[in-house]
């Protein structure tokens, strides 16, 4: 292994991340969005909130977007309007809590710039519900626009990221007092790591295949190990940066106590990142198309992390069969560690069992990842 080649790969990767707005957004904005969504999603269960719509564009795209609102569990469309006067009256009379207004240039701006705005008028008498309603509405719009973006950028051959509406999971927790926030927020760190790690790395190899740069890369003396480490190092740094951000946000914004040491957090986070990045890389070597790789990346990291890690749903309340399954979910160990470090102030020595489990996991994944990429075209 040559550090010179490793360094060349890492520098190239950093430049590419830097020039790719979607990668940057996932790396920098995702942690923020998740913290906000999950941190505030904790106190209420919104379901089938009555909303009205005012579709000023009435196009295929705007219809598709409104269908999403209707299909989501959070909203039911109770009426549609064609002028602002009716909209105001509906809000005043409490017919609905939220009105979604699709502007006349919705599709045009979406296709031109990749982003478009949807107006949401909210009855803010109940601040909390209003905030949550906006959060969910944003999630629906994000989900929709990411679908459009994926299709558009897959055509353009650029990086594709899947920004799934994370809020989809948030509804279940709640009706608890504010203490539940302390219970959940530490686990959000795991969620952010899983999401950012798997999303970004699951694309690094498939991107090279899709753009045709892999053929040249394979023809050079770079070794699979240099390629893997060079590619993953920048994402490792981003992951740690995001962890620091999450920690600061949790402590200073949400007032979650942090009783452990930074050293313990840093060490265990590195282990978790190794696993997540390794899995993303494994997927990326196996799947040569970016869209497919991104989706599978989400499936194997984010899903188990949300559902089976004990991050929101306590493991000891699950059916025994499901409890057994959680032992193979690597995020389970990290979430246990996070909660203990945040709330109990546990150190490395108190956590030998989960840390050992993670070391074994990281070892296996690193071993598989190192062997996954063969420098051949056939």
Partner 1 sequence: MTGTIETPVVAERLVKRFGSFTAVDDVSFRIARGEIVGFLGPNGAGKSTIIRMLCGLLRPSEGRARVAGFDVAREPERVRENIGYMSQKFSLYTDLTVAENLRFFGGIYRVPRAVLPERMGFAVEMAGLRHRENMLVSTLAGGWKQRLALGCAILHRPPILFLDEPTSGVDPESRRRFWDLIHDLSADGVTVLVSTHYMDEAEYCNRVALIDRGRLIEMASPSALKQHTLGGDLLVVECEGMGTAMAALHEAPGVRDVAAFGNSIHILVESAGAALAALPDYLAGCGVRVTRIEQIKPTIEDIFVQMIGAEARAEGPRP
Residue numbers at the binding site for partner 1 (CB under 8 A): 2, 4-5, 7-9, 11-12, 15-16, 19-20, 211-216, 218-223, 375-378
CB of 232 to partner 1, least distance (A): 17
- Look at the block and give the residue holding tokens 């650029």: 158
Q: Measured between alpha carbons, how far is 335 from 338 in angstroms, rounded to an integer?
A: 5
CB of 377 to partner 1, least distance (A): 5
CB of 26 to partner 1, least distance (A): 16
Q: Which is nearer to partner 1, 88 or 219 (CB)?
A: 219
**Which residues have a Cβ under 8 Å from the Cβ of 90 and sit 6 or more positions away?**
52, 79, 81, 96, 99
- Look at the block and give the residue holding tokens 């993670």: 358
Q: Which is nearer to partner 1, 20 or 242 (CB)?
A: 20
CB of 1 to partner 1, least distance (A): 12
Q: Under DSSP, is residue 53 helix (H, G, I), strand (E, B) or coil? A: strand
DSSP of 85-107: HHHHHHHHTTS-SEEEEE-TTHH
Identify the CA nearest to 296 among candidates 198, 214, 225, 213.
Answer: 198
Q: Which is nearer to partner 1, 169 or 284 (CB)?
A: 284
**Half-sphere exposure of residue 167: CA atoms within 13 angstroms, side-chain side:** 27
Q: Which is nearer to partner 1, 222 or 372 (CB)?
A: 222
Q: Which is nearer to partner 1, 211 or 371 (CB)?
A: 211
Q: What is the sign, positive or negative, of the torsion defined by CA atoms of 90, 95, 101, 102?
A: negative
Q: Which is nearer to partner 1, 171 or 375 (CB)?
A: 375
CB of 212 to partner 1, least distance (A): 4
Return the bridge partners of 102, or none. Answer: 55
Q: Measured between alpha carbons, how far is 247 from 228 in angstroms, rounded to an integer?
A: 28
CB of 234 to partner 1, least distance (A): 14
């Amino acid at each position: 292994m040559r550090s010179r080649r490793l360094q060349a790969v890492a520098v190239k990767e950093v430049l590419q991340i830097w020039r790719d707005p979607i990668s940057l957004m996932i790396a920098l904005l995702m942690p923020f969005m998740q913290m906000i969504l999950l941190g505030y999603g904790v106190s209420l269960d919104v379901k089938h909130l009555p909303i009205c719509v005012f579709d000023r564009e009435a196009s295929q795209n705007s219809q598709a977007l409104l269908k999403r609102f209707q299909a989501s569990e959070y909203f039911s469309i109770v009426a549609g309007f064609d002028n602002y006067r009716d909209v105001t009256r509906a809000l005043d009379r409490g017919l609905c809590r939220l009105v979604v207004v699709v502007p006349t240039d919705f599709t045009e701006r979406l296709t031109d710039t990749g982003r478009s705005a949807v107006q949401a008028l909210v009855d803010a008498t109940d601040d909390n519900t209003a905030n949550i309603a906006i959060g969910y509405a944003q999630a629906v719009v994000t989900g929709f626009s990411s679908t459009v973006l994926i299709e558009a950028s897959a055509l353009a051959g650029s990086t594709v990221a899947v920004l799934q509406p994370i809020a989809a999971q948030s509804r279940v927790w709640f009706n608890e007092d504010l203490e539940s926030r302390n219970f959940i927020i530490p686990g959000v760190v795991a969620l952010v790591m899983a999401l950012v790690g798997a999303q970004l790395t699951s694309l690094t190899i498939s991107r090279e295949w899709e753009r045709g740069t892999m053929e040249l890369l394979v023809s050079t003396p770079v070794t699979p190990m240099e390629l893997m480490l060079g590619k993953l190092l920048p994402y490792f740094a981003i992951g740690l940066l995001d962890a620091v951000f999450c920690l600061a946000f949790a402590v200073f914004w949400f007032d979650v106590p942090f009783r452990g040491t930074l050293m313990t957090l840093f060490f265990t986070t590195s282990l978790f990142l190794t696993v997540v990045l390794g899995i993303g890389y494994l997927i990326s070597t196996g799947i040569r198309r970016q869209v497919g790789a991104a989706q599978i990346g989400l499936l194997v990291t984010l899903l188990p992390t949300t559902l089976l890690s004990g991050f929101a749903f306590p493991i000891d309340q699950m059916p025994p069969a499901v409890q057994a399954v959680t032992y193979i979910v690597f995020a389970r160990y990290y979430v246990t560690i996070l909660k203990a470090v945040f709330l109990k102030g546990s150190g490395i020595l108190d956590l030998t069992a989960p840390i050992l489990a993670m070391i074994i996991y990281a070892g296996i994944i690193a071993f598989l990842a190192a062997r996954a990429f063969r420098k051949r075209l056939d």
